[in-house]
Amino acid sequence: MADNQKAVGVSVPRIEAREKVLGRSVYVDDLRREGMIWGKVVRSPHPRARIVHVDVTEARGLPGVVAVLTAADVPGDRYVGPLVKDQPILCSSSVRFEGDAVALVAATAEEVAETARDAVRVEYEILEPVLDPIAAMSPEAPQVQAGGNVASYSKLRRGDVEVGFRAADVIVEDSFSTQMIDHAYLEPEGAVAEVDAEGKVTIWVCSQYPHYDRQEVARVLGVSLARVRVIQTTTGGGFGGKFGSPLVSCYAALLAARTGRPAKVLYTREESLRTTVKRHPYRIHYKVGATRSGKLTAVEARFVGDTGAYLVVGRAVVGKSTSHGAGPYEVPHVKMDGYAVYTNKAPAGAMRGYGVPQVAVAYESLLDELARKLNLDPIEFRLKNVLREGSQTATGQTLLHSVGVAETLERAADARREMTPHLKTGKPYLKRGIGVGVSWHGIGAARSPSQATAYVNLCGDGSATVLCGSVDIGQGSNTLFSQIAAEELGVPLDQISVVTGDTLTTPDCEATTATRVTYLSGNAVRLAAEKAKGTALELAAKHFGCLPEHLILARGKVQVPDAALEISLTDLFKKHAVQQISALGVFSPDCTPLDPETGQGSPHATYGFGTHVALVEVDQETGAVRLVDYAAFNDVGKAINPQAVEGQIEGAVAMGTGYALSEGMIFDRGKILNPSFATYLLLTAADLPPVRVGLVEAPEPTGPYGAKGVGEPSMNPVAAAVINAIYDAVGVRIRELPAVPETVFAALKTRQPLPADR
C-alpha cells in the first residue's frame, strides 16, 4: 500500500482467500492425529421419553471399540448452557427432543464407531411430546423442564398503549407465525481433542467462541481453565449456530480424557440439521395504531418463541425481539410481552438476527397495511416515523449519532423507482410487486458490561502482530483487524499478522456474535495499535526533541513531516534497547441494561439500520414466488472493507429470501422429516437475482473509523421486504413463513377481488 493509500475504507481481498481457494485451509475434518479414535453419539429417536435402561454390553464388546460412555462417566458437571445449565451432555433419566444425546461411543475407525453406536440398546418409555408452544404455556401441559415450560418472560412498557390507541385514527392488528430454520453453514460441527503428557487437554474446533468452549469443557471434565486449551480451526460459517452449543467439544474432550487417545467427533449433516441449535419459530400478535396524518401512536405485541428442549440463549433472543419489536421508529406508546417456551424439539439458539427477523416480518407487514389504509406511500409513511438523531427508541434510549435509517429509505425510494418499469410481465397469471422492509439491530449483546481486548506487538521493522480473541468465522474479521492495524501503524496489509481464536495466546473477547466484532474488537485492535504507535512516537520525540503529536509513523519509519528528518523503528528500538512494543487495547461500549419491569434502558451503544427493496413475481395459478430484483441499503457507519460488507449483505439476502420463501424444518409429531440438503430447501444461485448493494455511512463516533457492523442488520429486513412485495403483487398478506406455493395459493384463494391488472 503506497504511503498515500489508506488501509481502511478500501476493498481488499480476504487475507485467507488464497489458502481457501487452494484448499489449504485446515478444517476440523482435515485433522488427523496419531492413534486418533472416532466418536459417535447415540441419540434418542423419540421427542420425549423416559430412559428405562441403557445396555452398552454389545457395543463395548465390538472389536475396535475403545470407549462407551453414559452420563455416569462424565467426571465433572453434566449440564451445559450459556445462560442456564439445562442441557445434559448425556441424558440419564429422560430425553427431551428427537436427537437428544444418550451415550457416546468411540472406536479406532469411524465405521466401527457407527456400528457401536447402533449397538447401544436403549429402552425408552415413550411419552407424549409437548410440541405446540402455546399449548405448552398452559399449566396443565406436561413439563419439558422441571421449572415449567415458560423459560423466560420479557417486557417492555413505554407510555400507555391505551392512550396511544385512543389517539390513533387507524389501527391494524394481525397474527403471524414463523418457522424453525437452520443455519446451514457449509461446515457441520466438529472437534478433535488430545491430552498431553501432563494431562492438559487441547481441542481444535470450528467455533464462534473458543473461550466459552473452554469454560464448558473444563466444567465437564472437572478441571481448571488453565488445563484446557481450545484452538479454533478454519470455520466454515457460524451464523450463531457455533456459539452456545459446546457439546461437540465436550464429546471429543470426554473421549480423549477417558482413553488418553486423540479423539475426533464430526457431526454428519443429518446430525447437524436434526440436533444442533436452530432459529426460534415464533407465534406473533401485533397491533399498531397511527393518526390520519401518518404518525405512529402505539405498538402492542405479544410473541412466543419456541426455544425447544433447552434454553441456550432463548431468553436473550426473545429479549432482543422485545427491545427491537417497535422497529426503528418513534413510537410514544409501546407494550411488548415476549416469552421463550420449552417444547420437545431441537433447541433453538442464536441465529443471525437473534429474534429480530421474526418480529420485523410482523411490524413491517402491519406498517404496509397502515400505509394502505391511510392512503400513504409505504416509504413516505415510514419516513414520517423513522428514528433520527435525537429520537428516542422504544427502550427510551436517545440516539445522538449515526442514525442513517432515513437515508436508507430515501435510497430505497430511488431503487423502487428504477424497478417500477419492470413490473409488467406480459402474462396475465404472473404478477409483480415491489416491497420494502426496514429494520435495525443493536450492535453487541444487550447487556452491560461487555468488553473486547486486543494486543498489538509492534516490531522493529514496522510490522506487527495482532492478538485478539474474536474469531473469524468466514465473515472477514481477521482481514478487518489487519486493515485497522495497518492503517494505524502506516504499513501495508501484509506487514500485519493476526492471531485469533487460541485460548492459550489470545484474550477472551467474548463471542463472534451480535454484530459486535467490527465495533467492539475493531475498537480494541485500533486502541492497541494506536497505543503501540504512541509509544514509538514518544521514543522518537525524545530522539528528535519534539512533541510526539508532530510525528508520523509510516512504513517502519518515524518521520517529521515537511522535513527531511526520519528514523527507522529498527534504529529507534536499538537506541532505546527496546525489542518490540506491546500494547493492550480494551474497549467497552457505553450501555445500560434494560429494566426488567419496563424494558427501558440503553442496551446498545449504537445501532445498524437497513432498508431493503424486493421485486417479486407471483404466479397466481401456482402460488410460486420468484425474486426478480433486489436492492439493499444498509447504514454500516463506515465500511472498513467495502467488498466484505457487500458480501455480507448479499449472503444475508440469500439467507433471508430462503427464510421468506422456502426453508423450514418439517416436523411430524416432533420428528424432523427433512434433515438433508436434498429436502431442506436452501435457495440456490438459480433462485436469486444479483443483489444491488448500497452502503450508507452515518458515522458512529465511538466506532472504529465510524464503523458499526452489518452481519445482522443486513439479515433482518429481507423476509419483510419479500412478504410485502408479495402483497404488492397479488394483494394477499402472507402471515405464515415460508411463503411456499401451498401457503401462497391458500392465501390467494381467500383473496378479495383481484387488484386491477397492471
Residues at the contact surface with other proteins, assessed by CB under 8 A: 111, 270, 429, 619, 621-624, 626, 662, 666-669, 671, 673-676, 678-679, 681-687, 740-742, 745-746
CB of residue 179 to other proteins, shortest distance in Å: 13
Is the CB of 459 or the CB of 666 nearer to other proteins? Answer: 666
CB of residue 623 to other proteins, shortest distance in Å: 7
Is the CB of 57 or the CB of 676 nearer to other proteins? Answer: 676
DSSP string spanning 688-714? -PPEEEEEE----TTSGGG----TTTT
Is the CB of 115 or the CB of 479 nearer to other proteins? Answer: 115
Is the CB of 379 or the CB of 624 nearer to other proteins? Answer: 624
Using alpha carbons, select from 633, 622, 606 the residue that is nearest to residue 721.
Answer: 633
End-to-end CA distance of the chain: 53
Sheet holding 464-468, edge to edge: 496-500, 464-468, 452-458, 581-587
Using alpha carbons, select from 628, 635, 587 the residue that is nearest to residue 608.
Answer: 635
CA dist 665 and 653 (Å) reads 20
Q: Please check whether residue 480 is in contact with residue 641, taking contact to mean a CB–CB distance below 8 angstroms.
A: yes
CB of residue 558 to other proteins, shortest distance in Å: 56
Is the CB of 265 or the CB of 665 nearer to other proteins? Answer: 665
CB of residue 587 to other proteins, shortest distance in Å: 42
CA dist 421 and 418 (Å) reads 7
Is the CB of 14 or the CB of 274 nearer to other proteins? Answer: 274
SS3 580: coil
Using alpha carbons, select from 303, 581, 306 the residue that is nearest to residue 462.
Answer: 581
Q: Provide the grid cell at 493.
A: 496489509
CB of residue 410 to other proteins, shortest distance in Å: 33
CA dist 467 and 119 (Å) reads 46
CB of residue 365 to other proteins, shortest distance in Å: 22
Is the CB of 459 or the CB of 681 nearer to other proteins? Answer: 681
CB of residue 684 to other proteins, shortest distance in Å: 4
Q: Which residues contact 583 (CB under 8 A, 6 or more apart)?
A: 455, 456, 458, 528, 529, 531, 532, 534, 535
Is the CB of 11 or the CB of 684 nearer to other proteins? Answer: 684
CB of residue 273 to other proteins, shortest distance in Å: 11
Q: What is the CA radius of gyration of the chain?
A: 27
Q: Which residues contact 146 (CB under 8 A, 6 or more apart)?
A: none
CB of residue 237 to other proteins, shortest distance in Å: 19
Using alpha carbons, select from 347, 255, 239 the residue that is nearest to residue 658.
Answer: 239
Measured from the Cβ of residue 110, the count of other Cβ atoms closer than 10 Å reads 14
Sheet holding 201-205, edge to edge: 65-69, 101-107, 37-43, 263-266, 190-195, 201-205, 228-232
Is the CB of 270 or the CB of 571 nearer to other proteins? Answer: 270
CB of residue 428 to other proteins, shortest distance in Å: 10
CA dist 65 and 71 (Å) reads 18
Q: Provide the grid cell at 539.
A: 521514543
Is the CB of 473 or the CB of 683 nearer to other proteins? Answer: 683
CB of residue 650 to other proteins, shortest distance in Å: 18
CB of residue 307 to other proteins, shortest distance in Å: 23
Is the CB of 508 or the CB of 619 nearer to other proteins? Answer: 619
Is the CB of 79 or the CB of 745 nearer to other proteins? Answer: 745
CA dist 251 and 41 (Å) reads 8
Is the CB of 371 or the CB of 737 nearer to other proteins? Answer: 737
Measured from the Cβ of residue 588, the count of other Cβ atoms closer than 10 Å reads 16
CA dist 364 and 341 (Å) reads 24
CA dist 351 and 708 (Å) reads 19
Is the CB of 39 or the CB of 548 nearer to other proteins? Answer: 39
Is the CB of 456 or the CB of 730 nearer to other proteins? Answer: 730
Q: Please check whether residue 149 is in contact with residue 143, taking contact to mean a CB–CB distance below 8 angstroms.
A: yes
Using alpha carbons, select from 468, 518, 525, 464 the residue that is nearest to residue 490.
Answer: 464
Q: Provide the grid cell at 424.
A: 409488467
CB of residue 680 to other proteins, shortest distance in Å: 10
Q: Provide the grid cell at 220.
A: 465437564
Using alpha carbons, select from 87, 80, 180, 183 the residue that is nearest to residue 473.
Answer: 183
CA dist 378 and 364 (Å) reads 10
Strand partners, 263: 37, 193
Measured from the Cβ of residue 73, the count of other Cβ atoms closer than 10 Å reads 15
CB of residue 657 to other proteins, shortest distance in Å: 10
CB of residue 118 to other proteins, shortest distance in Å: 9
- Residue 535: half-sphere exposure toward Cβ, Cα within 13 Å: 19
| Grid cell 452515518 in the structure block, residue | 698
Is the CB of 129 or the CB of 325 nearer to other proteins? Answer: 129
CB of residue 663 to other proteins, shortest distance in Å: 10
